[in-house]
Structure 1
Amino acid sequence: MEEFHPIGDGGHGNRATVIFKGGRFEGPHLRGTILPGGGDWETIQNTPSESLQTAHLDTRYNLLTHDNHCIYLRTTGVRTGPRDVLEALGEEDKHTAHDYKMRLNLTFECDDAGKYGWLNRVVGIASSGRNGGRVIYDAFEVL
């Protein structure tokens, strides 16, 4: 991930964006690379006591499979936990995913007639976490 770019409080919480540098993904049915240029548009809200924080996540990026098929992935969800923990997520190895919750809904889009067209009908969920500049998903199909 690149650095966060704060936008400010637009009435729904403090919005910030971050652009993804790229990465990789691997699972039982898919593997490949995450193309650079996707990003996260998140809105952060603190509780009145200021001790807890919730981020509403909205990510969008492209996956390129090992056999050269492009898949658009959008995730929406929530990251919540103690404010001091969430504000330190950019620091490598400071906190684990057990210190907070990050849960996502996954929506895939690709050529319906292509090899991965089945993804267009997947209901996907993920438990996720950050370690420094890396985001890690454990993603699952809901059957």
Structure 2
Amino acid sequence: MADEQHDNLPSRRGVLLAAGAVATGLIDTPGIAAQAKADDTPRAEFVYEAIVTLGPPEDIGTTPHGKRVRIPITGGTFKGPRISGTIFPEGMDWQLIRPDGFTELEAAYLMREADGTVIRIQNKGLAGKGYAKTTTTFEAPTGPHGWLNEAMFAGTLGPVPELRTPAVRIRIYRLV
């Protein structure tokens, strides 16, 4: 058994060295090394602002990770330079209030673009101590909104003091 493991070491080393060479650009994987050589400092391009209305929170209880809360998403609107529409009244935000005072956010919901296209959204984020940021993934049908499937997105969260109903303002940015 020891000899079999020893015999496999060169092939394992080769795989690890090759992986490291690709990661550091020593081997040019088509397109990847060329992109890495360009200025890779992320920039943010505004995509839309959403006003998401919320139902009453439901305290699920304390888990080993913190206090779990469920908040229904009851609707809303979104508007940006390339996309706008409404938010379906059937999403959910599962929040985990951690012992350190931060809250982990995990929301999933659907949006209907003005042209009728239904787009699935998943926001994961972290809020607390004046910080509230998310990462967003989209699942859009192939077609005019397919660009949402082809990039990374980040967002900010904030209150909506001008509304009388509970809501959150979400601003989404595409990382370019």
Q: 2:94 is matched with which residue: 22, 41, 46?
A: 41
Higher relative contact order (CA closer than 8 Å, sequence separation 6+): 2
Partner of 1:127: 156
Superposed counterparts of 1:1-143, under 5 Å = 1-47=54-100, 53-81=101-129, 100-111=130-141, 113-131=142-160, 133-143=166-176
Kindly tell me the number of residue pairs found equivalent between the two proteins: 119
Instruction: Say which is worse superposed, 124-133 or 11-20, in terms of deviation.
Output: 124-133
Q: Larger Rg: 1 or 2?
A: 2
Once residues 125 and 79 of structure 2 are traced to their aligned partners in structure 1, the CA distance between those partners, rounded to angstroms, is: 21
User: What TM-score do you get using the length of structure 1 for normalisation?
Assistant: 0.80
Post-superposition shift, 1:114? 1.9
Report the residue type matching 1:104 in the other structure: T
| SS of alignment partner, residue 67 of structure 1 | coil
CA RMSD of aligned residues (A): 1.1
Stretches (4+) displaced over 4 A: none
Counting aligned pairs with the same residue, the percent is 28
Gaps of 5+ in 2: 1-53
